[in-house]
Amino acid sequence: MNPGDEELVTRAQQGDRRAFEDLVERHKQKAYYIAFDFSRDREDAKDLSQEAFLKAFTNLKKFDGRSSFYTWFYRILVNLCLDYKRRQKRAPTDTFDETLESHMEPSHEPKKPRSPDQQVLAGQFSRRIGEALEALPARQRTAFILKNHQGLSIKEIAELMETAEGTVKVHLHRAVTALRQSLAEFA
Amino acid sequence: MADRNRIPNPCKELEENLVLLHYGDLAGAERQTLRDHLASCAGCTDYLKELATLLPLTIKADEPSQIFWHDYSRELRHKIDAVSEKQSWRRRLSGFFQPWSIPALAGAAVVMLALTLTFGKGIWQSNDLPKDDAAMIEALPVAENLEFFKAMDVLDDLDLLESMGNQGDAA
């Protein structure tokens, strides 16, 4: 039987490197996907999620088990992602579309050939989604990504964002409303 | 592209619950009430349909390969190694600077400084000076003293002149 997160954390806190590596293996994919949802860039998502693991490793002794490791770790990750977005806003580089397309591997689904018109439309839509997500306030964007992209429960999101469940619901509703308005022409 | 007039117009007070219903986060009585409402409200039904169409489109999935995940773990292990190395250095350093060792080291430094100043004057003075310079260094305090004595002579002269002046006045 696989040990739970708590047991691995206890062992890692006692200096068991293998236990921490097991935690990494267990959470790396979810961590990466959350970081990707925020950054929309493969390299940045890798760096951000790895940075979160490093931060967790160096601060593991301070983890007191009041929340679950899952909540504690993803809180570190989300904060890093929000910092990354703030830094990116100060120094904008690539457009959403270029960044995204250049790092995408071919999807498992076979791609249907697109007509030039469809390609233009898809590009516009993709760009508009990126812009719409960027335009959301940080907490709305966080609530939306964690719900819509990651499927976390309202309770989990509230714990992660250290706020009330009612507040998360409000953030989520406002985010959906804003996105709906931004993407109305594509509906 | 959809006509703007066809944008669903849900009941304002139910919008938040419709979003939660879409995500499966509405339960119990609230869920049942909303379901009943949906049976008779086209605006809310269309809104829910729109959410179901629109929101999944905002997700851009990424499917990294196995190689990526393998590299990911290897790279992270190296980074953790580097951090561990740094931490162990820091621990060794902090072990050296124990709370008791700082005052002890400071005390030792003060004693060393005092001993150096007391007995080390000769050591620190350079013996490599040319003979003329050394003679000059020895003569300088004497010369300063000479100047002092000259000044004293002038004062004596002044006193003599003054006393002579006084005698003249008395006469």
Residue A105: predicted pLDDT: 39
Residue B134: predicted pLDDT: 64
pLDDT of residue A108 exceeding 50, the answer is no
Task: Tell me the CATH number of domain A96-102+115-187, given options 3.40.50.12780, 1.10.10.10, 1.25.40.20, 1.10.510.10.
Answer: 1.10.10.10
User: Residue B75 and residue A50: Cβ atoms within 8 Å?
Assistant: yes
User: Residue B77 and residue A21: Cβ atoms within 8 Å?
Assistant: yes
Mean per-residue pLDDT for B119-133?
64
The secondary structure of residue A15, as a DSSP letter, is T
A163: left (phi over 0), alpha (psi -120 to 50) or beta: beta
A94 min Cα distance to partner chain B (Å): 17
Residue B154: predicted pLDDT: 73
The CATH topology of domain A1-93 is Rna Polymerase Sigma Factor; Chain: A (1.10.1740)
pLDDT, tens digit, 9 for 90 and up, residues B28-41: 999 999 999 999 99
Mean per-residue pLDDT for A109-120?
60
User: Residue B76 and residue A28: Cβ atoms within 8 Å?
Assistant: yes
pLDDT, tens digit, 9 for 90 and up, residues A22-75: 999 999 999 999 999 998 889 999 999 999 999 999 999 999 888 899 899 999
Where do the domains of chain B lie?
Answer: 4-57
Q: Identify the residue among B25, B47, B74, B88 best suited for mutation to test binding to A, counting A beta carbons within 10 A and taking the highest.
A: B25
Question: Which chain A residue shows the shortest CA-CA distance from B70?
Answer: A25
Regarding pTM above 0.90, the answer is no
Q: Which residues of A touch B19 (CB under 8 A)?
A: 169, 172-173, 176
User: Residue A185 and residue B1: Cβ atoms within 8 Å?
Assistant: yes
User: Residue A183 and residue B54: Cβ atoms within 8 Å?
Assistant: yes
Q: Which residues of A touch B57 (CB under 8 A)?
A: 125, 129, 183, 186
Domains A1-93 and A96-102+115-187 share a fold: no
| pLDDT > 70: percent of chain A | 83
Q: Which residues of B touch A24 (CB under 8 A)?
A: 73, 76
Where do the domains of chain A lie?
Answer: 1-93, 96-102+115-187
| Mean pLDDT over the full length of chain B | 81
A120 touches chain B (CB under 8 A): no
